[in-house]
Amino acid sequence: MASSPEPNPPDSQPRQEQGLEQLKIANYYLRVALDQIPEGIVLLETGPLEGTGPKVIFSNAPAACLMGADPTKGLRGLHLADLVTSEAEARAMLATLLSAAEGGSAECECECALQTFYGTGPKMCRWTVRAVFSSMKKLLNFTIAIAPVAAPAENSAVQHAPKKIHDLDAQSEQLRTENLAALAKGIAHDVNNLLGPIAIRISDIVQKLPQDSPLVSELSLAYAGISRAKQFTSQIVKASKAKSGKSEPTDLSCLIRDTVQLSQAGANVSVRVHVPEDIDWAVADSVKVSQVLQNLIMNGIQAMPHGGYMDVEAKNLTIAPGKDMILQPGRYTEIIVRDRGTGIAPENLERLFHEVFTTKADGNGIGLTTCKRFVEDHGGDIRVTSKVGVGTEFRVLLPSIARPATHSAIPAAPVKPAALVRGEGTVLIVDDEDDLRRIAGTVLQRCGYRVYGCDNGQEAAEIYRNLARAGERPDVVFMDLTLRGGMSGAETLHEILCFDRSARVVLTSGSVTEDVQVGYLDQGFIDILSKPYGAGELSQMARKITTVNAVGVES
């Protein structure tokens, strides 16, 4: 791999660029410091105090967490009226405080409710407002510190204890879900990074072997296994982040297969799936249906401690008028979960969907009750038959519509690695996985590229600038999200784009799922190459970007 150009000595760089670099570093450390403050910190512009109020220009991570917003996006762009409840009194109270702070008042505090985004209701907080002035006494912005207020220990509070306990449970569940999603994303990232060097090595070896070699078939099967592992980690991240939404047409074929794959992971029970190609789409909340199916499958697995196999089937069903005592006439999809476990005693079947009933030593009895409520809320029903020593069958019926004629199935994982393609140009690889970066560089050099590499954002930005000044601006940059040092891949992208708005940076990561890709493309990445990728995929992406760059076509 070509060596990285030596950085210019400090005295040869323009003084203005040095100052800008120091300012950016200081700004980064300031943001990190503000995120460590336990209180929520919000900076408001000096806009009009009436109406919706001034706009947020900065917020630290605790402020975003208090409102249930994404800490990486923050509250920027929201107005003062968006932070508080819809009560005009609360907005007027804060507007009065802002006005008093602008007038020089030192006592600018109040208590009012902070709006939240995750459905647990407004949160009572203490708001401390300060006006920030320049040395010339010009108002620069307003700074607001927001801290939750502990509930008063009054007798009247006892009357509302059940609601507060419910709110606390909801917040605890929200925190647990967010932690689970973060954990799943981290594990997926690390697993995909570990698979990365293996995938690119195997696919590279396949390219070198004669195509009639018996090793090609064996290595291709190993590569296909890596591709399936990549899909599996993506499904785990997606499932952990999924939130309930509205009922809408849902592709049960994909939902059932994905849920089964996740639910049987690590179990000694094999789940066989039988879903016809013409299965209707259920009109349902896909997250809740997946939760119901997962619960039923895991119950079946627990009922089969010695292993074996169970079945999950789906079929279309039409209920004629007067043929069902519970469901309305119409079109339904039936999902059948059948285990071959210990079965349920007849005297327990009637109590199965009661919250207080459970046959498990560590159970709380709410799993099947929640499943039944979810299904009934969709206008469906859940039914059970069982025989001791034979097994149990659950039938979930959901309203459905005809499967769209234009819908196509999701393509299966590739069985054989993609072919290498040659190209030309300059490539910069930024990745903190040394082995992957080295192998990727070797592959691209063999394909005809000049390759540079590094493991951190600061060096990447410097290499890019030096190459551009030397007349060898990189035609494509492959950028990982997590890097060594203080700058992330997204921050490094911003640094490079500030120097060269036409820079072509491809995101490479093991934790970017399909549902968040648009957000990264909006940041300025021109494409995404998910880890683990093969040698052929890497070379084809490089050829695609450098070819577009050569002909001057805007992406």
pLDDT tens digits, 170-207: 555 555 555 555 556 666 666 777 777 888 888 888 88
- Checking if the pLDDT of 321 tops 70, the result is yes
What is the band of 162 on the pLDDT scale with cuts at 50, 70, 90?
Answer: very low
Average pLDDT over residues 310-326: 92
357 token code pair: 């009933």
Amino acid 366: pLDDT:
44
What residues have CB less than 8 Å from 323, skipping those under 6 apart?
329
Task: Give Cα 425 to chain centroid, integer Å.
Answer: 34
Distances (CA, A) of 197 to 137, 227, 436, 438, 447: 58, 13, 5, 9, 18
Torsion angle in degrees (nearest 10) through CA of 101, 106, 111, 115? 40
Highest mean pLDDT (candidates 33-47, 161-175, 349-363, 420-434): 420-434
- Checking if the pLDDT of 121 tops 60, the result is yes
Half-sphere exposure of residue 537: CA atoms within 13 angstroms, side-chain side: 22
Q: Which stretch of 30-34, 292-296, 383-387, 438-442 has the lowest confidence by average pLDDT?
A: 30-34
- Helix pair 214-241, 252-263: axis angle to 10 deg: 100
Mean predicted lDDT score pLDDT of the chain: 79
Torsion angle in degrees (nearest 10) through CA of 530, 535, 538, 540? -130
Cα 9 to Cα 470: distance, rounded to the nearest angstrom: 15
Per the listing, tokens 């209707």 go with 280
Of 407 and 236, more confident? 236
Amino acid 158: pLDDT:
39
Q: Which stretch of 10-19, 112-121, 538-547 has the lowest confidence by average pLDDT?
A: 10-19
Residue 497 near residue 474, CB atoms below 8 Å: no
Task: Give Cα 493 to chain centroid, integer Å.
Answer: 20
Highest mean pLDDT (candidates 42-46, 81-85, 328-332, 544-548): 328-332
Amino acid 90: pLDDT:
63
Cα 93 to Cα 81: distance, rounded to the nearest angstrom: 11
What is the band of 501 on the pLDDT scale with cuts at 50, 70, 90?
Answer: very high
For residue 279, which of 326, 314, 328 has the smallest C-alpha distance? 314
What residues have CB less than 8 Å from 158, skipping those under 6 apart?
none
Pairing status of strand 330-338 against strand 123-133: unpaired
Cα 498 to Cα 20: distance, rounded to the nearest angstrom: 11
- Checking if the pLDDT of 19 tops 70, the result is no
**399 cis-preceded (ω within 30 degrees of 0):** no
- Checking if the pLDDT of 495 tops 80, the result is yes
Cα 398 to Cα 385: distance, rounded to the nearest angstrom: 18
Average pLDDT over residues 120-148: 84
Average pLDDT over residues 207-216: 81
Q: What is the pLDDT of residues 354-401, one digit of tens each?
A: 654 444 544 433 478 778 888 888 899 999 999 998 999 999 999 999
What residues have CB less than 8 Å from 249, skipping those under 6 apart?
281, 282, 283, 401, 404
Q: What is the pLDDT of residues 38-63, one digit of tens each?
A: 888 999 888 777 777 788 888 888 88
For residue 300, which of 213, 371, 227, 403 has the smallest C-alpha distance? 371
Residue 218, number of CB atoms within 10 A of its CB:
11
Cα 342 to Cα 364: distance, rounded to the nearest angstrom: 20
Terminus-to-terminus CA distance in the chain, angstroms?
Answer: 28
What are the phi and psi torsion angles at 103 (to 5°)? -80, -5
Of 202 and 155, more confident? 202
For residue 374, which of 236, 240, 247 has the smallest C-alpha distance? 247
Cα 519 to Cα 243: distance, rounded to the nearest angstrom: 18
Average pLDDT over residues 431-453: 92
Cα 260 to Cα 506: distance, rounded to the nearest angstrom: 33
Amino acid 512: pLDDT:
65
Residue 436, number of CB atoms within 10 A of its CB:
25
Cα 3 to Cα 70: distance, rounded to the nearest angstrom: 39
Q: What is the pLDDT of residues 477-489, one digit of tens each?
A: 999 988 877 788 8
Cα 225 to Cα 414: distance, rounded to the nearest angstrom: 9
What residues have CB less than 8 Å from 460, skipping those under 6 apart?
428, 430, 454, 477, 479, 483, 492, 496
What is the band of 349 on the pLDDT scale with cuts at 50, 70, 90?
Answer: confident
Share of the chain above pLDDT 90, in %: 26
Residue 4 near residue 452, CB atoms below 8 Å: yes
What residues have CB less than 8 Å from 51, skipping those under 6 apart?
81
Q: What is the pLDDT of residues 511-527, one digit of tens each?
A: 666 656 777 888 899 99
**Could you write out the three-class secondary structure of 47-99?**
CCCCCCCCEEEEECHHHHHHHCCCCCCCCCCCEHHHHECCCHHHHHHHHHHHH
Amino acid 373: pLDDT:
84
What is the band of 165 on the pLDDT scale with cuts at 50, 70, 90?
Answer: very low
What is the band of 492 on the pLDDT scale with cuts at 50, 70, 90?
Answer: very high
What residues have CB less than 8 Å from 143, skipping those under 6 apart?
41, 42, 43, 44, 129, 130, 131, 132
Of 206 and 297, more confident? 297
Torsion angle in degrees (nearest 10) through CA of 241, 247, 252, 255? 0
Average pLDDT over residues 265-286: 88
Of 338 and 365, more confident? 338
What is the band of 555 on the pLDDT scale with cuts at 50, 70, 90?
Answer: very low
Average pLDDT over residues 257-273: 84
Q: What is the pLDDT of residues 244-259, one digit of tens each?
A: 567 788 888 888 988 8
